[in-house]
């Protein structure tokens, strides 16, 4: 069963916890069943959403959600190709003024759930938590509320009665070309296992939600392939990320500039290269920067720079 909660009108006792969803969580706990709640919060990423019509700021070059940045200047930034645009004063779609920068940490969600349901054991499935504290099978199996930031690491969990997306737009904001496919697979997989699906969103009439609730896999596939072809994503073009990670920003800058200069010298005109010198990620006390390559045949170029990549500590190559 699918329940779509329109956050434009839903009553919420706490951020992203509507009264309707809280009632479903309570009913599930009373039956001593499990709830799996998804809420993505990569870093402090905030996406721009219109609370009137559900508009979300999307990169025109990549078809991915743009992220709100306030430093060194207020702007929207694509974390994939580094395209920038000013933050609009009004909604470009409905011309309303109810634009909001949406972002909220998962730890705060966990704290609020613990206060509302003190009798329920809560486990957070989170890459940072797994590294720092360790995630144990027993902790997951005993918990009644599972709070996850990761779509892919939860498909093997059994006994889930309620699966809820606290804010679908927080998942779509992940800068990955196949994120909607991952969302679709996760929801359909859990629905086929018999779980109730609850989706909270500011855009309840989106094509993604319609295709999910109506079971329109063919429409979803046709739409997805058309988008990937239009924006040169796999399977129509190859996509590679070259990551440089280190505790020192200066070392990252030194390595990545050498790589970028060599790539620009060697690459053919049909290969696209994206890089933003100001865009750093940070995880586990390490900074990271990436170079994005897109083209029909990247193998000759990657072979040319293979030694340059693998002789440097902290440099990795990801094929998408």
**pLDDT at res. 56:** 87
pTM value is: 0.79
SS3 for the chain is: CEEEEECCCCCEEECCEEHHHHHHHHHHHHCCCEEEEECCCCCCCCEEEECCCCCECECCCCCCECEEECCCCCEEECCCCCCEECCCCCCCCCCCCCEEEECCCHHHHHHHHHHHCCCCCEEEECHHHHHHCCCCHHHHHHCCEEEECCCHHHCCCCCEEEEEECCHHHHHCCCCCCHHHHHHHHHHHHHHCCCEEEEEECCCCCHHHHHHHCCCHHHHHHHHHHHHHHCCCCCCCEEEEEEEEECCHHHHHHHHHHHHHHHHHHCCCCCEEECCCCCCEEECCEEEEEEEEEECCCHHHHHHCHHHHHCCCCEEEEEC
* Domain residue limits, the chain: 2-43+103-227, 238-319
| Average pLDDT in the chain | 87
User: Of the given ranges (58-72, 108-122, 197-211, 223-237), which has the lowest mean pLDDT?
Assistant: 58-72
Mean pLDDT of 214-227: 95
At 131, the pLDDT band (50, 70, 90 cuts) reads very low
At 32, the pLDDT band (50, 70, 90 cuts) reads very high
Pick the CATH number of 2-43+103-227 from 3.40.50.300, 3.30.2020.30, 3.30.56.10, 3.40.190.10: 3.40.50.300
Give percent of the chain above pLDDT 90: 54
- What would the CATH number be for the domain defined by 238-319? 3.30.70.600
At 127, the pLDDT band (50, 70, 90 cuts) reads low
At 231, the pLDDT band (50, 70, 90 cuts) reads very high
Q: Do domains 2-43+103-227 and 238-319 have the same CATH topology?
A: no
pLDDT tens profile 279-315: 787 777 789 999 999 999 999 999 988 877 777 888 9
Mean pLDDT of 207-227: 95
Phi, psi of 105 (to 5 degrees): -75, 145
Would you say residue 128 has pLDDT above 70?
no
At 132, the pLDDT band (50, 70, 90 cuts) reads very low
């Amino acid at each position: 069963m699918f329940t779509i909660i329109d956050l434009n009108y839903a009553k919420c006792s706490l951020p992203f916890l509507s009264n309707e969803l809280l009632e479903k969580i309570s009913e599930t706990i009373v039956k001593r069943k499990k709830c799996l709640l998804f809420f993505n919060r990569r870093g402090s990423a905030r996406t721009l959403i219109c609370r009137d019509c559900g508009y979300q700021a999307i990169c025109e070059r990549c078809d991915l959600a743009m992220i709100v940045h306030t430093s060194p200047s207020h702007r929207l930034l694509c974390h994939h190709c580094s395209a920038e645009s000013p933050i609009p004063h009004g909604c470009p779609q409905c011309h309303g003024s109810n634009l909001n920068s949406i972002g909220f940490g998962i730890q705060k969600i966990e704290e609020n759930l613990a206060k509302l349901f003190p009798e329920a054991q809560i486990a957070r499935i989170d890459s940072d938590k797994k590294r720092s504290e360790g995630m144990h099978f027993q902790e997951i199996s005993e918990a009644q509320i599972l709070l996850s930031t990761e779509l892919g690491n939860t498909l093997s969990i059994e006994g889930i009665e309620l699966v809820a997306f606290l804010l679908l737009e927080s998942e779509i904001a992940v800068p990955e070309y196949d994120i909607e496919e991952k969302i679709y697979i996760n929801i359909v997989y859990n629905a086929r296992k018999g779980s109730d699906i609850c989706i909270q969103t500011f855009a309840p009439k989106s094509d993604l939600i319609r295709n999910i609730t109506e079971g329109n896999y063919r429409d979803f596939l046709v739409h997805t392939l058309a988008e990937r072809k239009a924006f040169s994503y796999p399977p129509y073009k190859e996509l590679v990320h070259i990551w440089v990670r280190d505790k020192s920003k200066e070392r990252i800058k030194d390595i990545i500039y050498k790589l970028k200069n060599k790539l620009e010298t060697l690459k053919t005109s049909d290969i696209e290269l994206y890089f933003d010198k100001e865009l750093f990620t940070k995880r586990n006390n390490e900074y990271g920067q990436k170079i994005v390559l897109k083209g029909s045949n990247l193998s000759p170029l990657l072979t040319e720079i293979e030694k340059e990549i693998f002789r440097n500590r902290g440099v990795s190559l990801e094929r998408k």
